[in-house]
Amino acid sequence: MASLYSRPVFALALSTGLLLAGTVRAQEAPLKFGKLEAKEATALLAVPTADSAAAEVLCDFGQSSIQGKNEGFELKFERTARLLIRRRAGYDHATVRVLLYHDPKGGGREELLQLKGLTYNLTGTTLSKEPLRTEAVFSRKVDERLDEYAFTLPNVREGSIVEFTYVIKSPFLFNLQDWQFQQDIPVRWSEYRTTIPSFYRYKELTRTYWPFALNETGAKAYATTYREDTRTSYGSIPTGSGNSYTITTQALTRRWVQKNLPAFHPESFMTTERDYLSRVDFELERIQFDEKRPPQFIVGNWAEIEKELLEKESFGQYLRATTAVSTAAAPLRTLPDPTERAAAVRQQVLAAVGYSGSTGTHVRNTAKRVVELRQGNAAEVNLLLVAALRAAGLDAQPLLLSTRAHGRIQTELPVVSQFNYVVAHVALPEGKELLLDATDASLPHTLLPDYCLNGQGRLLGPAGKWVNLADNAPHLLYTNAQLMVNARGEIQGNIRQEYAGYAAAEHRRPLPALRQQWQQAHPDWQITTIEASAPDVARPVVLELKASLPGAEAPAATLYLRPLQQLILPTNPFTQAERLYPVDFTTARRLECIVNITLPAGYAATELPATMQLVLPNEGGRFLFNVSQPNPQTIALLGRLQLTKTHYSAEEYHALRELYTKALAKLAEPIVLQRQ
């Protein structure tokens, strides 16, 4: 697979009339609504759909521009799309949903205009057209700022071609429409164009794992008219009698095209799909109508955003509130070791306030109210933690991050909406640092929840900077087994399994649940007794079992033993022959197994698996298998699989998959015993 298809491309550009790569002539639209003829429909239906998908996007075309209106400017977004519905399973794609933003305080509202739709059905050489009816359009309130409009194209059946077009007018200049090229069905052609006058500048972030057929920048003359209402001592009178103004300037034009995109399918070990879909996003950075005057910055730098956030009542003032939690933390100043002190403070917060399960970067209740309720969201709990750490004499600051389900942070875009979680950062002596979270009591103070391990977080306060969220603690499973074999091939003995690091949190649960979990993972084993110990969250969870693997009904002259196959690697997590996207683990992974087997009397080992050592490129990991025979009646097995990285590119996937495949094959090789 060529690297162009498997390595992500992230490009940041400033959309401005002053930075031009050349002038682009007007281009014909790739799709015109209502212009499909029977001959073209026949040709479209004759082309097989990629991957035999139930539906596909034939063409999706959008364009955005800024134009004048009463009392200022507005965004105009136009979209026209055509889809082919192959089978009944694709009928859902004939329903389209459009989100519109409104300001509950200022009263501004986006409008959906010029909505039209058609369903084409080809019968022989006759192409019928059925239009979308007004009564098929529904709206609902999503939240206080978003409304959803939904419509379903009529008379859809297998082989239908559906088409729709609409316009959105928005008074919110910050809300330049983003564009997603890739979808969960194949896309033959996706195109987006923007025309931005020079007095508006947007930050543009393009991300893709697929090449652009076109990625053009140009310039053209721009003119628009806007009207100012007549103003009297009673205020503005929007009667149309005000003054009209025409503004001319240069505009930056952008055009992106991707074609023949495969359907997006989530793969194992990924963050949110938004991190992988081909798309372009925008943020309004500044407005400048007069070059002789300073610009108005909409998106500031990180320092400005941090200062504003810390001054907000819903965030920064929360840190300065005195509560029972911060009061209780003050006496801990006497603990000399700052790490131990931080751990003690976190323990107090865990005991005082529970986690509601809701993420976010803003509080909903006052600090005192959260303590009274004994429950809060992630921001409330961890801002209480920061305040308590400060009360205990520690240098603590909030650290903003984005969870894995929310998506990776783009550090080039200083926008608070990228974050959805807050943890505490403590500066330690000798330049060391400690990240703390008080939402999960099953984790030690040294570990953040695994869903927080997502790239980088932004530290607020005087030392504002980016902080790497990668954790050195692995996901570790260690197995030690002392087993005996009888003449029927039955294996029985003692098994000790230790779950450390992030694996411990997954197994820190009541014994009945642990037993069920182990039995599901090892269905062939029969458990006689089982005990678990987890003295504290800083130590591994230990499971000790007496168990057996059934043998034959009668003694056999030849026995085949495969004990490791059932103990450490039941399945290969990488089943796909090809992978389009990187493998993204939350943390490094280790599996270790030591097994000593006592042979039945009168039997000898006649075949033993050969020793194997495999190493991944770029120090990405290794597999080691070793078998030895300390004496004629004892066989010692060692298996170790170690992945040292958390991120493996699509180019590295084949080697990673091959490592697991060969490791499983080696663990499945039998030990052959013969009766002497």
Distance in angstroms between the alpha carbons of the first and the last residue of the chain: 54
The set of residues, in sequence order, having a beta carbon less than 8 Å from that of 443 and lying 6+ positions away, is 437, 449, 505, 537
pTM, entire model: 0.82
How many Cβ atoms are within 10 Å of 437's Cβ, its own excluded? 24
DSSP state of 260: E
Highest mean pLDDT range out of 134-148, 217-231, 566-580?
134-148
Q: pLDDT tens digits for 390-414?
A: 999 999 999 999 999 999 988 887 8
3-state secondary structure of 634: strand
Q: How many CA atoms lie within 13 A of 431 on its CB side?
A: 0
DSSP state of 614: E
Query: In the prediction, which pLDDT does 21 show?
Result: 38
| Alpha-carbon distances of 473 from 347, 432, 450, rounded to whole Å | 20, 16, 11
The band of 3, judged by pLDDT with boundaries at 50, 70 and 90, is very low
Q: What is the mean pLDDT of residues 115-136?
A: 94
Q: What is the mean pLDDT of residues 259-275?
A: 91
Q: pLDDT tens digits for 592-612?
A: 999 999 999 999 999 999 999
CA distance 34 to 43: 17
The band of 623, judged by pLDDT with boundaries at 50, 70 and 90, is very high
Query: In the prediction, which pLDDT does 31 show?
Result: 94
Place of tokens 């069905």: 185
Query: In the prediction, which pLDDT does 494 show?
Result: 96
Across the chain, mean pLDDT equals: 89
Query: In the prediction, which pLDDT does 242 show?
Result: 63
181: closest CA among 253, 117, 256?
Answer: 256
Is the pLDDT higher at 438 or at 521? 438
CA distance 424 to 630: 52
- pLDDT over 70 (residue 322): yes
DSSP state of 521: H
Query: In the prediction, which pLDDT does 240 show?
Result: 52
Q: How many CA atoms lie within 13 A of 486 on its CB side?
A: 13
- Percent pLDDT > 90 in the chain is 65
Write phi, then psi, for 276 (nearest 5 degrees).
-120, -25
- Percent pLDDT > 70 in the chain is 93
CA distance 576 to 653: 10
Query: In the prediction, which pLDDT does 15 show?
Result: 44
Q: What is the mean pLDDT of residues 630-638?
A: 94
Query: In the prediction, which pLDDT does 462 show?
Result: 86
Place of tokens 């950062």: 425
Q: In what order do the strands lie in the sheet with 146-152?
A: 95-101, 146-152, 137-141
Q: Which of 21-25, 59-63, 642-646, 651-655 has the lowest mean pLDDT?
A: 21-25
CA distance 573 to 664: 11
- Counted residue by residue, the chain has a size of 676
Q: pLDDT tens digits for 199-250?
A: 889 988 888 999 999 999 999 999 888 777 655 554 445 545 567 878 888 9
- pLDDT over 80 (residue 313): no
Place of tokens 């303590």: 371
